[in-house]
Structure 1
Amino acid sequence: MKLLFTDFLFEFELESSRITVINEMRQYLQNITFPLQFSEVVEVLDVDITTVCNFSDSGYKCTCEDQYFWPCDKCKEYGSCDSIINNTCSCINNIPSDRQFCQAVSEITNNTACGQPTSGCMTRWFDFNPSGYNINGDYKQLGSLFVGEYYREICLNPITIEAQTIFVQPASYTYKVRLSCPKEWCLSE
């Protein structure tokens, strides 16, 4: 008799008031080789940290880890700490009452609460490699470098900005970007 295999998705909530615990967990998970075999029938294929909530003077902020996002309804309901792009955000100003965690884009459904951008046009995808610059987390400088590199091909006041990582590298190494530009810009090009 052959056993049937079934995939299960388990979600665990880890509570800690110290960010060092989260950082230690990240480090630990980076050093594990998957899959982890616990028995002949149990193996762990992957473990991801999706959401980290911190408490500060202004209350909780819940931030999504790489490749995870809040759907637009959560961004609107709890207030986004960053920009809402493609009907998602990566930071909200409270812990959701339903205890929902950040989600992979492929898991986000029914996500039209933010509406669609005004009609315009999309630029081509631009490859960008920020690892070649010494910006030390200064994203304003990073934006200036991007504009400087592609000035003749982009609108300076985009409606939305889409970014995708290339291959499996984190966005801090290399990614591609395209802009949704206003109709007026599209007509002038």
Structure 2
Amino acid sequence: MKWNRMQWQALALGAGLVLSLEARAQEADTLGTQGSGNFGGMGQIAITSDLYGTMAYTSVEGPGDGFSISLKPSVDYFLKENLSLGGSVLLATTITDGDDDVSLGLRVRGGYNIWLNEKVSVWPKLGLGVAHSGAGDRTYLEIELSAPFLVHLAPHFFVGGGPGLVTQLGDGTLAQLHISTVVGGYF
């Protein structure tokens, strides 16, 4: 296989990003031990609640326009420094002109906390779950990618927010881009 110039540039860009993230992670190891109570330390348990609302048009069967709000109580365990594995429960409702929809689900997720300075970190997470929607009696697979920026206000307490993407696969496909907020603590 012969590689063209664009492919080599993309490979070089990817390698540069990986190396800079690795260097940033090594530098962040020293930041994580200062001032914030060392969020992301091995063996820690973090309890959070993510909340987001969207106004969207849905292309799956149903009424279309609506407002949805989702609450996801979550628990994460740090397997090693800054590397987490956890799960969440999805409680969501969509309010429309017709019948309102209620969704319930379970999700597993993995994440990695990256310190930006003594009080701020970003905690990107990738989750996979299954959910059931009462409207249309629909069960679907859900994939979520989120990257909240956390502000560590006090030892063992943080707030934050950031972008997220949820994709539902099943009877119909749905993708939602949203901004979510998170409140949490750890011990």
What TM-score range do you get, normalising by the shorter chain?
under 0.3
Q: Which has the higher helix share?
A: 1
Larger radius of gyration: 1
Per the normalisation by structure 1, the TM-score is 0.23
Per the normalisation by structure 2, the TM-score is 0.23
Higher relative contact order (CA 8 A, sep 6+): 2
